[in-house]
Structure 1
Amino acid sequence: MTNMTEEEEKEQDWGFPLSVTIPCGVVILVLILLAVFGNVLTITAFVKDRGLRCVYNMYLLNLAGTDLLLGLVSMPFYAVYTLKSYAWPFGYHFCKAYMVIDFALCLESILTIIIISLDRLLLLKYGPHYTHRETTTVAIVKIVLSWIVAISLYTPAIIGWDLWTGEDTVEEGDCDVQFAYDLAFTASTAVVEFAIPFIAIGILNLLIYIEIRKRSRISPTSNDQVSNAQDKNRKDMKAARFLAMLVVVFGITWAPYTVTTIIISFCDTCVNEHLYEAFNWLLWSKASLNPFLYAYNSARFAKNFKQILFCRRTRHTPVVTTVSTGNSHSQT
């Protein structure tokens, strides 16, 4: 019987050589920490600063909460699966629950970006009437409806596909959706989940840009109006740039995974397994990047992040009173 060294036993246990497992593990750990810590900062800033509690930031809060759950649930469990050479140690039933949660969270993040884009367009369209139309109640209704859609699209198929078809297509010890090799269903959901949202977000952002350009052509009649119009336009353009960055990040992180998923559905051997898993992690990296976009777009978010990170409190200017004592003065 051959005696294995301690290092060889570890390699056998994890599947990949340690020279691969350790670097991949470090990268994955960084992504998870950024996703969790960055989105905790975002949520804390929203709770801490009343000035951030507007309808628009409620949507950012929902996106941050979604990304936080991706960092707490989707990424850690899949990290074990990835580093164990794509072996799922948590069982069949937990795999089903895990897939329901992950697919719902990923879809919700897309729907929230659509809502955010639509909200910016409505702000430009409604102008001063925006706050009367887009209330906190309206925002909550939109968020709830988006969660219902996100949970409803994949959950029935994830739970019941093998029961309906009477065929289990997932190998023992693996964790994947049963419809992974069904071209019609995979292609349809890819259109619903990526193609349609990406086109919708692109159209919304184009309309936002057109609306901003229209506003910039309106000639103010006084110096005050000129100044106000200019201020309204670092803000509108900055918001448009932020949305454009969200769209670009969404496209870069989601497109490779979506395309390869469709290819795998009709040609299992046409995509390298390691490349596909890398695209999976690229998709989740959006959850790690979004908090940096919030800080870049909003000086108030950035300020709150710094205060939280360095345990700073908002400074209050001390009240200075002058007490007269004859010819001299003292301050308290």
Structure 2
Amino acid sequence: MATNLTGNSTTGEEEDDALFGLNIVVPIGIIIAIIIIIAIVGNVFTIAAFIKDRKLRSTYNIYIVNLAVTDLLLGCLSMPFYAVYTLKTHTWPFGYHFCKAYMVIDFTLCLEAVLVMIILSLDRLLLLKQGSQYMHKETNKVACIKIAISWVISFLLYSPAIIGWDIWTGQDSNEPGDCDVQFAYNFDFTMATAVIEFGIPFICLSVLNLIIYLEIRKRIQAKENSKKVPKYQPSSIPVTGTSGSNPVNGDTSKSQVEQQRGAAQGTTMQNAVQPIQDTQKMRGVRKDTKAAKSLGLLVIVFAITWAPYTVTTIIISACEACVNEDVYEFLNWLLWTKAALNPFLYAYNNQRFREHFMYFLFCFRKRNRVHTEQTVSTVS
């Protein structure tokens, strides 16, 4: 039978002694509050920009918005409750059943963020491989289906174990006042889920982005080689005919002149169109390169924020005393900082997102200025 976490037998004085002092709570609380606010505001801006601007509603940006929704939910649901748990010296005050619901939500959201990264990488690769066929095959409907499947997978990987582990085993591994998954100290299960959640996705992301990089390099090389090939320049050979003395030769000369004029005009048109085609190809290559860099930054941030937490989780499942609890909590918050960093990456890599972010900021600033002016005029 699971133990209800509200049944904590700790006395009031012991509880007060266990809490962090104000000199620790205040700075940590401020840092956590800043992370939460940035995560919420940044991802709200991302979603609002997508809704406001029709030109942003591409298949790729549908995945970006899904990632923003995931990060927004992390900022609204996971981080605030865990902030209380952190600041109360790792004491969970919300009860056993809410702990279960909280863990299901948090693990589902975190895994969804990982799966979206894989979908984004696969989408960029399909764009490079399929070319013009991409728009016909990878429609918005297909994107929504992929997103729905990813949410189902994210829920099914952890949720059954989170909900029923203590029921199946008949043991509650959590101490009173604590909130953690019941399988936290089962090495085999933790190792398997870590491989599924981080190991395999990280390998997939590395391979996909390497293929994307090689494909773009191939396009750039092909473009450079095409520049080295000398283009055909027709020679203008004057045709002299003796139309007066030889009518047949005169007719032939006129025909040759007309053919040369036609060829010259065709060549001129081809020479005029060629630079436009080259410019379009170059723009396509630059666009693909920029998209690849954007995706690469997302993957790098994912690796930096997730790898330490995942490795530490595996170590704790084998040796609980080997990792300091405060270090583990820091790595947990480091993982969540990705939700706050991602909107900056969207704005950095996409001019339209950046313009909308600036618009929202200036709009709020303008409203604040008007409110201040009205307040001053009322006081005076």
| Residue 217 of structure 1, aligned match among 208, 218, 221 | 221
Q: Distance between the aligned counterparts of 1:225 and 1:213, measured in 2?
A: 19
Structure 1 segment 33-182 matched on structure 2, within 5 A: 33-182=37-186
| Residue 292 of structure 2, aligned match among 222, 231, 240 | 240
Question: 2:267 maps to what in 1?
Answer: none
| Residue 306 of structure 2, aligned match among 254, 272, 292 | 254
Question: 1:292 maps to what in 2?
Answer: 344
Q: Distance between the aligned counterparts of 2:277 and 2:203, measured in 1?
A: 36
Deviates more, 1:181-190 or 1:235-244: 235-244
Q: Distance between the aligned counterparts of 2:18 and 2:363, measured in 1?
A: 40
* CA-based RMSD: 1.4
The alpha-carbon deviation at position 217 of structure 1 amounts to: 2.3
Could you say which structure has the larger radius of gyration?
2
The alpha-carbon deviation at position 14 of structure 1 amounts to: 7.3
Distance change >3 Å, CA 86–CA 25, structure 1 → 2: same
Q: Distance between the aligned counterparts of 1:151 and 1:89, measured in 2?
A: 25
TM-score after normalising by structure 1: 0.89
Residue deviations 1:43-79, cap 9 Å, x none?
A: 0000000110111100000000000000000000000
Q: Which runs of 5+ in 2 are unaligned?
A: 1-12, 232-273, 365-380
Letter in 1 for 2:98: F
Other structure's SS at 2:321 match: coil
- Percent pairwise identity: 62
The alpha-carbon deviation at position 228 of structure 1 amounts to: 1.2
Larger relative contact order, structure 1 or 2 (CA cutoff 8 Å, min sep 6): 2
Q: Distance between the aligned counterparts of 1:126 and 1:234, measured in 2?
A: 17
TM-score after normalising by structure 2: 0.78
Deviates more, 1:167-176 or 1:217-226: 217-226
Q: Distance between the aligned counterparts of 1:139 and 1:213, measured in 2?
A: 27
Deviates more, 1:216-225 or 1:164-173: 216-225
Residue deviations 1:103-160, cap 9 Å, x none?
A: 0000000000100010000000111111000001100100000000000000000000
Letter in 2 for 1:235: K
Distance change >3 Å, CA 310–CA 14, structure 1 → 2: farther
Runs of 4+ in structure 1 displaced over 4 angstroms? none
The structure in which a higher percent of residues are helix is 2
Distance change >3 Å, CA 119–CA 99, structure 1 → 2: same
